[in-house]
Structure 1
Amino acid sequence: MSPTDRVDRTGDATEKLSTGSGVPRTRNGVTAVLRRPELASIVGAVGVFVLFMVVAPSFRSLDSFATVLYTASTLGIVALAVGLLMIADEFDLSTGVAVTTTALAASMMSYNWHLQTWVGSLLALAVALAVGFFNGWMVTKTGVPSFLITLATFLMLQGLNLAVTKMITNAVATPTISDMQGFEICRRIFAGSFSVFGVSVKITVLWWVLFVLVAHVVLFRTKFGNWVFAVGGNPSAARAVGVPVDRVKIILFMVVAASCWFVGQHNLYNFDSIQAGQGVGNEFFYIIAAVVGGVAMTGGKGTAVGTAVGALIYGMTTQGIVYAGWNPDWLKFFVGAVLLLAVLSNNSFSKFTEARK
């Protein structure tokens, strides 16, 4: 990008500054805060937290917080990557089944080829990256919307998961691999636990925090982050100033696939056996977490922290309903209501801040 191109550090893709001015308009601190894409989600997270602290006494324990963080982390790892892709104005509907695909691949390759489990996991990572590359390449080379390309991938992976698993194992679940070499070290990496004040916390929480920090730095401190916002804000203008739009999108699809692989390995080493039909429908929760966290459906706007807050809201909601003793059948209604409120709030904040420019 030329020196006159800039991405606003609030997460909005902005137009190129005029060469004559060269200096961005100053904003007071309050306006800068109001322009943060994740502001509405933070307010919502506080509201959900207060609600369940009041109505669910068991929600107040440290063990409950650990469970909430675990739920949020397994969702948030994929939601983070999905959010980055959405900032670039693309979608991936294959994520839910891709998580299961990578777990099935690692399990069956390790078991049937008599490999150490970490080798099977690395081979599964190669499978995941190939799927991500396929999605990105098809989207960029055909011009077909990513919604349709990844919907097709979703259906193909769903069929492969069931058909290949039944063909190889004569069942719909993989055999146990807990007695194979390498399982314990992989379990510690992907599904281990550590103690904080006597409370057991899953290691996925640490991985989630680390990934969010890395994504934040990449988005707001690197050239690639500028490219992501530029591609989502105005791909034609980005391409005109030398941004490799197709490459950026393919890389982001592969990052999404890698995040699916990571959560898939967690599921494998946490539960030992994988059902071929798992994961269907989770792709929507990943998108919901990103949108609730302030990522724009039209691209060009969002933050890594916002996706984390969106995942945390989901974690508090799913576990809070259980702790409050409410009928869990209302869960999806509640999640849908949160999504609607988040979208309306984000639109209201956007209109308000645009009016103050």
Structure 2
Amino acid sequence: MSVSTPAAGATAKAEDGARDERLRQVSRVKRLLSRPELGSISGTILVFIFFIIVAGDSGMFAANGVMNWMTVSGQLGIIGIGACMLMIGGEFDLSIGSMIGFAGMMIAIPAVYWDWPVWSAIMFAFSCALLIGFTNGFIVVKTGLPSFIVSLAFLFILRGLTIALSILFTDKTIVGGVSAVAEGDWLGAAFGGEIGGWLFQWLADIGLIGTYPNGDALVSGIPMVIVWWFLLAVVASWVLMRTRYGNWIFATGGDAKAAKNVGVPTDRVKICLFMFTAFCATVLAACQVLEFGSAAADRGLLKEFEAIIAAVIGGALLTGGYGSVVGACFGALIFGVVQMGINFAGFNSDWFRVFLGGMLLIAVLFNNYIRKSVTESA
């Protein structure tokens, strides 16, 4: 017969408490390692450290330098968010780049040649893009064809339509004059304007940022492309992580058949995601057209691959069901910092594509390793 003493009981409780604490620590580490954005955040920190060392005194991290690489990051971030959401849902859209050029022409031609108000031309472009996104998704879900093939077809269809329509209606492949007709337009300012100019001028007046010889701040405001990037990131992250629809997206990408069996409207989810990628591409197109005052038929070339790269660097799996909008934003930030940092550091710009391909390969290997480590230890 064994007798339990108070000391033995206290020892057992202490051992159980220590074991529970170790389990909690392991659980926290596993949760951290399983976060999709871990790789992109780590990569961003390393990239910043590198360019602080090699280009810290070149003006890269002055106010105007920061605005330069933030603008580049914002342009990719907008379409990277759309690509990431769709990849989490288990599909690809290779027509994003062509949609940028097409939507830009759908804004410029009616506004410049048909005397439409710019706001109505922008709404027309969004309507066309959403219809094409719906068609793209509808074909994928109703035929069962790989989205890679369907969207590849739309890549060529949209690029060809952009060139053909621009020549048909304008006899040009570059349409200018948008700035003149957009002056004072309420919706045009939402895509081509800037915000916070007064703040930067105040910072310049007190000597915190540089000025031109006439006293104007080197940075006149935050471009709307950056504002749209942050707005889309916040909304998309909230939808993905805090709503039932976000759960549907993960379930659809993880196992569409199982998700459908438990009542998830997988077809509707995928179609909506294709429409969202088209929407993001049109947002970027509108920002570019209103900022530069022109549309070009070849605008957006290869942007579909850069968007996918940003999503993959951000932790999205090519097999679907896993990813993070925050991670995609950090992937876009890496892209912008490196692209502009190479110029600030005086490196040959030809190395940028080499770096981008290397980052893609490293991200895929890292994400694959982390995923296997977490699942095997579960």
Partner-residue secondary structure (3-state), 2:101: helix
For residues 31 and 253 of structure 2, the distance between their equivalents in structure 1, rounded to whole angstroms, comes to: 21
Shift of 1:184: 4.5
Alpha-carbon offset, residue 181 of structure 1 = 5.5
Measure the CA separation in 1 of the matches of 2:183 and 2:87. Answer: 36
- Written as runs of structure 1 = structure 2, the 5 A alignment for 1:106-117 is 106-117=107-118
Distance in 2 (CA, whole Å) between partners of 1:268 and 1:335 is 26
1:328-347 deviation line (CA, Å, top 9, x unaligned): 11111111111111111111
- Aligned to 1:114, the other structure's residue is in SS state coil
CA–CA distance in 2 between the matches of 1:252 and 1:181?
30
2:3 maps to what in 1? Answer: none
* 1:51 pairs with 2:50: yes
Question: Which residue pairs with 1:304 in the alignment?
Answer: 325
- Mapped to 2, the partners of 1:80 and 1:167 lie a distance apart of 33
Q: Give the 3-state SS of the residue equivalent to 1:178 in structure 2.
A: helix
Q: How big is the shift at 1:183?
A: 5.5
Q: Residue in 2 aligned with 1:75?
A: 76
Say whether 1:159 aligns with 2:147: no
Aligned to 1:131, the other structure's residue is in SS state helix
- Note the 1:75-94 alignment, pairs <5 A: 75-94=76-95
Q: What displacement does 1:206 show?
A: 2.0
Match of 2:102 in 1: 101
Local SS of the residue matching 1:60: coil
**Conserved in 1, the CA contact under 8 Å of 2:224 and 2:287?**
no
Aligned to 2:373: 352
Q: Over alpha carbons, which structure has the higher Rg? A: 2
* CA offsets 1:192-246 (integer angstroms, 9 cap, x no match): 2234444332122222112111111101111100000000000010000011111
1:220 is aligned to 2:220: no
Q: Which position in structure 1 is the counterpart of 2:144?
A: 143
User: Which deviations, in whole Å up to 9, do the C-alpha atoms of 1:281-337 show, x marking residues without a partner?
Assistant: 111000000000001110000011011010001011101111010011111111111
In the aligned structure 2, how far is the partner of 1:298 from the partner of 1:269?
A: 37
Aligned: 1:239 with 2:238 = no
Counting aligned pairs with the same residue, the percent is 38
1:187, 1:106 → 2: CA distance? 10
Gaps of 5+ in 1: 1-24
Asked if structure 2 preserves the Cα contact closer than 8 Å seen for 1:100 and 1:276, the reply is yes
| CA distance, structure 2, for counterparts of residue 92 and residue 274 of structure 1 | 22
Displacement of 1:187: 3.9
Q: Which moved more, 1:179-188 or 1:111-120?
A: 179-188
Match of 1:294 in 2: 315
The answer to whether residue 132 in structure 2 is matched with residue 131 in structure 1 is yes
Q: CA deviation at 1:168?
A: 1.0
1:42 corresponding residue in structure 2? 41
Distance 1:182 1:235 in 2: 47
* CA shift digits 1:11-58 (9 cap, x unpaired): xxxxxxxxxxxxxx9763222111101101111110011111111122
Whether contact under 8 Å (1:117, 1:183) holds in the other structure is no
Query: For the residues of structure 1 that align with 2:284 and 2:103, how far apart are their CA atoms?
Result: 9
Which residue number corresponds to residue 19 of structure 1? Answer: none
Q: Is the 8 A contact 2:86 2:270 kept in 1?
A: yes
Contact 2:178 2:289 in 1 (8 A): no
In 2, distance between residues paired with 1:61 and 1:178? Answer: 29
Helix, strand or coil for the counterpart of 2:222?
strand
**Secondary structure of 1:328's match?**
coil
- Please tell me the residue identity of whatever aligns with 2:374: T
Q: Could you tell me whether the CA contact under 8 Å between 2:54 and 2:345 is conserved in 1?
A: yes
Deviations 1:31-87 (A, max 9, x none): 211110110111111001111111112223222111111111111011101100000
The C-alpha deviation readout for 1:237-259, integer Å capped at 9, x for no partner, is 00000111110000000000011
Corresponding residue for residue 274 of structure 1:
295
Query: What is the alpha-carbon distance in structure 2 between the residues aligned to residue 346 and residue 181 of structure 1?
Result: 45
CA distance in 1, matches of 2:309, 2:49: 21
The number of equivalent residue pairs is: 333
Question: How far, CA to CA, are the matches of 1:287 and 1:230 in structure 2?
Answer: 20
Q: What aligned pairs does 1:16-27 form with structure 2 within 5 A after superposition?
A: none
TM-score w.r.t. the length of structure 2 is 0.85
Post-superposition shift, 1:182?
Answer: 5.7
Q: Within 2, Cα distance between the matches of 1:115 and 1:260?
A: 22
- Higher mean alpha-carbon deviation, 192-201 vs 99-108, is at 192-201
Equivalent in the alignment of 2:285? 264
Q: For 1:104-145, what per-residue CA distance to the aligned partner results, in whole angstroms no more than 9, with x for missing partners?
A: 011112223211100010011100001100100010111110
The two structures have a TM-score, normalised by structure 1, of 0.90
Give the superposition deviation at 1:186: 3.6
Q: CA-atom RMSD, angstroms?
A: 1.5
Q: Which runs of 5+ in 2 are unaligned?
A: 1-22, 205-218
User: Match of 1:14?
Assistant: none
